Amino acid sequence: MGHTTIVSLTMQILCLTLCSLSLPCSAFTSEHYSDALAKSILFYEGQRSGRLPSTQRQTWRGDSGLSDGSSYHVDLVGGYYDAGDNVKFGLPMAFTTTLLAWSVIEFGNSMHNQMENVKAAIRWGTDYLLKAATATPATLYVQVGEPNMDHRCWERPEDMDTPRNVYKVSSQNPGSDVAAETAAALAAASIVFKESDPSYSTKLLQTAMKVFDFADRFRGSYSDSLNSVVCPFYCSYSGYHDELLWGASWLHRASQNTSYLAYIQSNGHTMGADEDDYSFSWDDKRPGTKVLLSKVFFLNSNVLLEYKNTNDSKPNFFSGPIPQDFLEKKTEEFQLYKAHSDNYICSLIPGSPNFQAQYTPGGLLYKGSESNLQYVTSSAFLLLTYAKYLSTNNGVATCGTSTVTADKLIALAKKQVDYILGDNPAKISYMVGFGQRYPLHVHHRGSSLPSVHAHPDHIACNSGFQYLYSGSPNPNVLVGAIVGGPDSKDNFADDRNNYQQSEPATYINAAFVGSVAYFSAI
């Protein structure tokens, strides 16, 4: 039997297996998902600010922002540019880092030869966030770059001559949202590095605790403190309560310190934990928090079951013996988080009594006209994470009088992932560099301008606009970037001027890393 025939038979068997699991068959194999995983992580090297390492693989990039913070006598070199511009926004950068870490925590076992690359991507974020959090007491630096001035230029990060103003939150000018998200990022990352770099992990967790305490003690939204420079770019529309619960949830996960559970229980009702929300993003953390906390419910339930079966009071994940009545009470309380997680999940399931989502004719989840794929990648990740929790505990999601199995959640997530990778009406991959056809006119300064290696001479602020308006493809391929995506009718304009559809962002990719890691292992 020839090699081609064997491969063909193998693919048929794989497809039959997927179908038997209620997963939709597609043209994508584990090798395709592995390729997408590698590229989705590689993207972050194109977003780096600071001095690039010798291992840099997006070689068209060069060093940039090497004096960030210096005029304020702080070192804020490093971190990520959020999207296609040259500003370092702290809120989306921290959220990106949290999601990258969560991807590793849930699906790292499927990342294999990409583990070191994804850890490097996380560390590039946490190294910067550590600087931002420890440079000055009772202060968190949350932004570098004046966005209004930055957006009036079209220039490479290596050529920046716009003001590199530094912005911070403090006890006098609070920013609980950005501070609590930073705490979440550092806490989640501490789990990632716990075994491979224990001292770094400890530093991350200790700093996370301090930043969270700062966020909670001096409450207020950073949008109020820094309105003109963070709005409308990354204005905290949902307020800061969702970030405080999100941060506390990650600190509990990382530290196993019961005081954070107590904080959630004490503050949840007043901070909107009882409210259902159906959009998980850099701004609104409520659905992600509830899915994260549902794991505590499952753990609680399992411990309670073990107690009932053995009458044992041995230590457990709560770090000490627990009276059974206390455990039963906690299990009942955290049942609410499973119920809220079910409500979120059911809102995405067509035919469910709770169904609230909108899908394009081609089957893509559609939330908004600007960077819609950020909602798709975050929702797919939550579907897979919750499916994992359900499968591990033989559970189902309850949607009214019906139930939804983990397999159905996986199937819906797979539909979204495959759509992004090219299984869509336009037959285009929305990940740059993946597949045969993908966006060529990406709204991204560094990618659209000649690289500093090909064109060493400085390209001034206004001189770069000729490249923005050019009909030519970007000279530098930002491999792995997922763009904003198509509209509600599956239409996509590969147009550099249409930033709503053609601009990539770090937080679009972050959740996708976990999803493609999961499917690469099937």
3-class DSSP state of 453: coil
Res. 336 pLDDT band, cuts 50 70 90: confident
Give the amino acid at 106.
E
Q: What is the pLDDT of residues 188-220, one digit of tens each?
A: 999 999 999 999 999 999 999 999 999 999 999
Among 18-27, 246-255, 485-494, the range scoring the smallest mean pLDDT is 18-27
Of the candidates 3, 27, 81, the residue with the CA atom closest to the CA atom of residue 434: 27
pLDDT at 1 over 60: no
Rounded Cα distance, 238 and 413, in Å: 25
Confidence band of 10 (pLDDT split at 50, 70, 90): very low
pLDDT at 327: 60
pLDDT tens, residue by residue, 303-328: 555 545 555 444 444 455 556 666 66
Is-catalytic flag, 503? yes
224, 333, 494, 495: the active-site residue:
494
What was the pLDDT predicted at 310? 53
pLDDT tens, position by position, 462-474: 999 999 999 999 9
| Catalytic site includes residue 158 | no
494 carries an active-site annotation: yes
**pLDDT of the residue at 218:** 97
Q: Would you call 170 exposed, middle or buried from its count of C-beta atoms within 10 A (0-12, 13-18, 19+)?
A: middle
Residue spans of beta strands (DSSP E) within 383-458: 397-399, 402-404
pLDDT at 303: 58
- Across 253-361, the runs of DSSP E, i.e. the strands, are none
Beta bridge partners of 139: 170
Query: Which residue segments constitute the domains of the chain, with CATH numbers given?
Result: 46-239+445-480 (1.50.10.10)
Angle 239-75-226 from CA coordinates, rounded to 5°: 25
Looking only at the bridges linking them, the beta strands covering 402-404 and 397-399 are antiparallel
Provide CB contacts within 8 A for 504, sequence distance 6+. 43, 83, 84, 432, 442, 443, 444, 478, 481, 482, 483, 484
pLDDT value of residue 385: 98
Tell me which of 177, 181, 216, 503 is the catalytic residue: 503
Q: Which of 134-148, 241-255, 256-270, 369-383 has the lowest mean pLDDT?
A: 256-270
Q: Whole-structure pTM over 0.75, yes or no?
A: yes
Q: Give the pLDDT of residue 24.
A: 46
> Residue 232 is encoded by which pair of tokens?
């409308």
Res. 83: pLDDT tops 90 = yes
Planar angle of CA 22, 27, 29, nearest 5 degrees:
80
* Average pLDDT along the chain: 90
- Whole-angstrom Cα distance, residue 178 to residue 132? 11
Residue pointed to by tokens 């420079």: 229
Average pLDDT rounded to a whole number, residues 156-182: 96
**SS3 at position 365:** strand
- Verify cis geometry, omega within 30 degrees of 0, for the bond prior to 232: yes
Q: Is the pLDDT of residue 372 over 60?
A: yes
Q: Kindly give the interhelix angle for 373-392 and 406-421, rounded to the nearest 10 degrees.
A: 150
Selected catalytic residue, list 340, 441, 443, 444: 443
DSSP 8-state code for residue 143: E
* pLDDT tens, position by position, 477-516: 999 999 999 999 999 999 999 999 999 999 999 999 999 9
Higher pLDDT, 328 or 230: 230
pLDDT category of residue 18 using cuts at 50, 70 and 90:
very low
Q: What is the DSSP letter of 489?
A: T
With cut-offs at 50, 70 and 90, classify the pLDDT of residue 269: confident
Rounded Cα–Cα distance for residues 213 and 217 (Å): 6
pLDDT of residue 26: 61
